């Protein structure tokens, strides 16, 4: 058990978890974070949201997931 997991003694006494399997989707759980986003970027996703009917937070997440899967790299140059 990881240190941040809580134990429920009642459940452990009442139920046999010896044959339990871990949730295969547990690694795909989402994490709630706070992030600062430029107003223009937020407006862009909100406009896309109104056109597609998909919540803007989900659109931002889908875009970031796509970037991570395709291993997109930012090209930044400083002047």
Say what the pLDDT of residue 5 is. Answer: 58
Say what the pLDDT of residue 18 is. Answer: 80
User: Is the model more confident about 13 or about 59?
Assistant: 59
Q: Which of 26, 33, 25, 27 is nearest to 60 (CA)?
A: 33
Backbone angles phi and psi of 65, in degrees to 5: -65, -45
Parse the chain into domains and list their residue ranges. 9-69
Question: What are the structure tokens assigned to 53, written together?
Answer: 């009917």
pLDDT tens, residue by residue, 21-64: 888 877 777 888 999 999 999 999 999 999 999 999 999 999 99
């Amino acid at each position: 058990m990881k240190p941040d997991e809580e134990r429920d003694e009642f459940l452990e006494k009442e139920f046999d978890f010896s044959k339990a399997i871990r949730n295969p989707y547990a690694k795909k759980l989402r994490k709630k974070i706070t992030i600062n986003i430029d107003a223009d970027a937020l407006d862009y996703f909100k406009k896309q949201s109104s056109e597609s009917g998909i919540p803007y937070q989900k659109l931002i997440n889908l875009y970031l997931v796509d970037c991570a899967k395709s291993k997109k790299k930012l090209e930044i140059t400083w002047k």
